[in-house]
Amino acid sequence: MTTPVLEARGLTKRYGRVVAINGSDLELYPGEILAVIGDNGAGKSSLIKALSGALVPDEGEIYLDGERVTFRNPMQAREAGIETVYQTLAVAPGLDIADNLFLGREQRKPGPLGSIFRMLDRGHMRAEARRHMSELGIGTLQNIGQAVESLSGGQRQAVAVARSAAFGSKVVILDEPTAALGVKEGNRVLQLIRDVRDRGLPVILISHNMPHVFEVADRIHIQRLGRRATVITPKSHSMSDAVAIMTGAAEPPPTAKA
Ligand SMILES: Nc1ncnc2c1ncn2[C@@H]1O[C@H](COP(=O)(O)OP(=O)(O)OP(=O)(O)O)[C@@H](O)[C@H]1O
């Protein structure tokens, strides 16, 4: 049996008397897009925060490539190869595309210019940024030196997804990447998500957009009342089946394996 790239077992997080996640499991397998859906308050964000180090669970375990890991903060999850793009996009509007790609990971010039004078290796960063963007087929962003504030919502999201794909060595987690986008831009970002998967990085996609979920997901994790109700696939179930399971109107079927 294939080992999941990322696995959660029995994750629980309480805020006083509120139980945000209640013994939640999750498996992400190599080469897949796993959508996480659920009603408001079902614990999707909390689950994803636990996997990305933004929240320390009270109970439960996380495994990366079968090895137990514990994340005390987001930096530790990033260092382990898990890159997360949150709904509130962490792009710096005044900086250009290349600078945004390397935000927090700026590359210094080799030798003393970099180590002593802390000079940034802009040429190298620009070339790398261009390579990542073209690898992901983001052909519309002609000018890597263009300020991100002058980009459309979809292009900004593309920059954020490209950044996660460039630095995430194991897993990319995307929280509502198409939420604020028009039809065309949304579709472009969906294609980008497929490209990330096809390049070998499995993706967790949190979304309320059912058509988007059913279009790109290989499997769909349905979160309900703080835990996983089941996992279905777009082939085995319809959108209305998914909504019925989400809301508790229908019994969840047994979890679909990868
Ligand atoms: N920091 C917090 N303090 C107190 N309660 C919290 C906190 N974070 C989450 N919760 C509660 O935990 C539950 C799960 O919240 P969470 O945000 O994970 O759900 P969600 O499925 O992502 O919801 P949505 O789709 O509305 O974003 C909710 O009842 C929420 O109010």
Q: Which residue has the higher pLDDT, 106 or 167?
A: 167
Q: What percent of the chain has pLDDT over 90?
A: 52
Mean pLDDT of 152-171: 79
Distance 169 CA to ligand 1 centre (A): 28
Element (H, E) at 79: helix 74-79
70 contact partners, CB below 8 Å, separation of at least 6: 62, 76
Q: Are 151 and 181 in contact (CB under 8 A)?
A: no
Is pLDDT above 70 for 141?
no
Alpha-carbon distance 166 to 144, whole Å? 15
The protein residue whose alpha carbon is closest to atom 16 in ligand 1 is 43
**Domains within the chain, CATH numbers bracketed:** 6-247 (3.40.50.300)
pLDDT at 167: 75
Helix (H, G, I), strand (E, B) or coil at 188: helix
Q: What percent of the chain has pLDDT over 70?
A: 82
* Beta strand segments in 120-190, E: 171-175
Alpha-carbon distance 5 to 67, whole Å? 10
pLDDT at 117: 65
Q: Which range has the worst mean pLDDT, 7-21, 40-54, 117-131, 194-208?
A: 117-131
Is pLDDT above 70 for 90?
no
Reference 160, options 102, 85, 48; nearest CA is: 85
pLDDT at 219: 98
- For 71, list phi and psi in degrees, rounded to 5: -110, 120
pLDDT at 21: 96
Alpha-carbon distance 99 to 97, whole Å? 6
Closest ligand 1 atom to Cα of 20 = 12
87 band by pLDDT with thresholds 50, 70 and 90? low
105 band by pLDDT with thresholds 50, 70 and 90? low
Alpha-carbon distance 167 to 179, whole Å? 23
Q: Token pair for residue 122? A: 């802009």
What's the pTM?
0.85
The protein residue whose alpha carbon is closest to atom 12 in ligand 1 is 20
Is pLDDT above 90 for 235?
yes
Average pLDDT score, the chain: 85
pLDDT at 4: 97
Q: Is 40 in the pocket of ligand 1 (CB under 6 A)?
A: yes
Instruction: Give the model confidence (pLDDT) of 62-76 as tens digits.
Output: 999 999 999 999 889
pLDDT at 211: 94
* CB-neighbour burial class of residue 129 (10 A; exposed 0-12, middle 13-18, buried 19+): buried
165 band by pLDDT with thresholds 50, 70 and 90? confident
Mean pLDDT of 169-188: 85
Q: Are 2 and 202 in contact (CB under 8 A)?
A: no
Choose one of 39, 45, 206, 243 to mutate for the ligand 1 pocket test, by most ligand atoms within 8 angstroms of C-beta.
45
pLDDT at 93: 63
Choose one of 11, 22, 40, 86 to mutate for the ligand 1 pocket test, by most ligand atoms within 8 angstroms of C-beta.
40
The protein residue whose alpha carbon is closest to atom 17 in ligand 1 is 45
